[in-house]
Amino acid sequence: MTQHLREKIGGRSRSLKLTLAVTTMLAAAMLLQACGSSGDKGEAAPAKTSKEAAAGEAKSAVPAVLNYGFIGSNKLNLPSGAEGWGLYKGIIQAELKQYGITEIKATGFPNGPDQTESLISGRLDLGSLGDTPAIIAYGSGAKTRLITQASTHTVGYLIGQKGGIKQLQELKGQTIAIQKGSFMHRYVVGLLKAADITDYKLVHMLIPDAEAALARGDVAAITDTGARALKLIDDGFPLIDESANHPDLLGTSATVVSNDYLGKFPDFPKAWNAAREKALADLKQHEDEYYEFAAQVNNTTVELTKKLYPISDIKEQAFTDEGLKLLSGTKDFLVEEKLAKKDFHVEDWVLRAP
């Protein structure tokens, strides 16, 4: 090989090496630029931890809409108490939004049995109602868990006809209008049993129909709670009895959630109760405003609201010993009277947030 040919081949080799080096440098620069564009400061985005990834997956599994039922009917379409105040002020919505819940649909029901039917059918995810219908539903096989007892002081009233009976013993052989499966049902049956009165007839009527029947004289007495009961008494209908005189016949509230929803959002009890506690803390800082709100919800005056639904009756904790004792007593009574189909341990129903 001539010297000239060796020099020519060597030059080409050096040229090829230089080209490869430049190409490699350009490729590296492009890769760095691409990595830099994934972060705000030209740094590669850090990989998610397993905990963060799991939290993201759990959030994506939570339905965006939460269907919530309560007892009552009003223009605001809300209950009273910490739950109603929290929804009214947007506190609960804000708290649950972090879990992926973007809308809470609240629906009012005339009574507990109607609400439990919607819960069982899947139209509701959770509901706040009286303990009696909630117990009856669970004892009949409803797949629910109890996550809160917001109140343990529901008072029922037994009211008679104008010019009619005024004493409990006078109800022997008489017809009484009740809401079947409700707290008032449990109250009046327990009351009559304690008084050793067995000769009577119960008929199921919603409150408006019961009031009309009482005014016509079709029934001897009716049961009711709250402002409507006090209005009847103020209008001259005699008060025969009230459960405030019988501590073991007081009602408690129950917030229950379906097992199906818990399967989608296992941490819901913790999330709901935390939101409720935050709403209650805010409520206590705005008592006058709350009572005005509650008066609208219960279709009554602020003065009566303070008497019937005092803030002191709203429980801070999800469960109390007092509330669970009342709940257990009500459950035993309903099982004994065969209003609940099967017996169960209350603690098996209760679901405490971790």
CATH code assigned at 78: 3.40.190.10
Between 295 and 10, whose confidence is greater?
295
41 assigned to some structural domain? no
SS3 content of the chain, % helix, strand, coil (to 5): 55, 15, 30
* pLDDT tens column, 185-219: 999 999 999 999 999 999 999 999 999 999 999 99
**How does residue 60 score in pLDDT terms, banded at 50, 70 and 90?**
low
| pTM metric for this prediction | 0.80
Instruction: Kindly state whether residues 66 and 103 are assigned to the same domain.
Output: yes
* pLDDT tens column, 96-118: 999 999 999 999 999 899 999 99
pLDDT, mean over the chain: 86
**How does residue 232 score in pLDDT terms, banded at 50, 70 and 90?**
very high
CA 104 to chain centre: 11
* pLDDT tens column, 136-151: 999 999 999 999 999 9
DSSP string, 100-162: T--EEEEEEESSHHHHHHHHHHTS-SEEEEEHHHHHHHHHTT--EEEEE--BS-B-EEEEE-T
| Cα angle value 339/148/94 (rounded, 5°) | 135
Instruction: Kindly state whether residues 148 and 93 are assigned to the same domain.
Output: yes
pLDDT for res 353: 86
Instruction: Kindly state whether residues 128 and 197 are assigned to the same domain.
Output: no
User: What's the domain range around 342?
Assistant: 59-153+251-349
Share above pLDDT 90 across residues of the chain, in percent, rounded to a whole number: 76
CA 213 to chain centre: 33
Q: Which of 247, 271, 297 is the last residue of a domain?
A: 247
**How does residue 15 score in pLDDT terms, banded at 50, 70 and 90?**
very low
pLDDT for res 35: 41
CA distance 8 to 12: 6
Q: Is the pLDDT of residue 333 over 80?
A: yes
CB contact at 8 A, 185 and 338: no
Instruction: Copy the structure tokens of residue 292.
Output: 């005005």
163 assigned to some structural domain? yes
Q: Is the pLDDT of residue 30 over 50?
A: no
Share above pLDDT 70 across residues of the chain, in percent, rounded to a whole number: 83
Token match 């303070």: residue? 306
Q: Which of 221, 247, 273 is the last residue of a domain?
A: 247
240 assigned to some structural domain? yes
Q: Facing residues of 257 across strands?
A: 126, 145
Instruction: Kindly state whether residues 176 and 239 are assigned to the same domain.
Output: yes
**How does residue 154 score in pLDDT terms, banded at 50, 70 and 90?**
very high
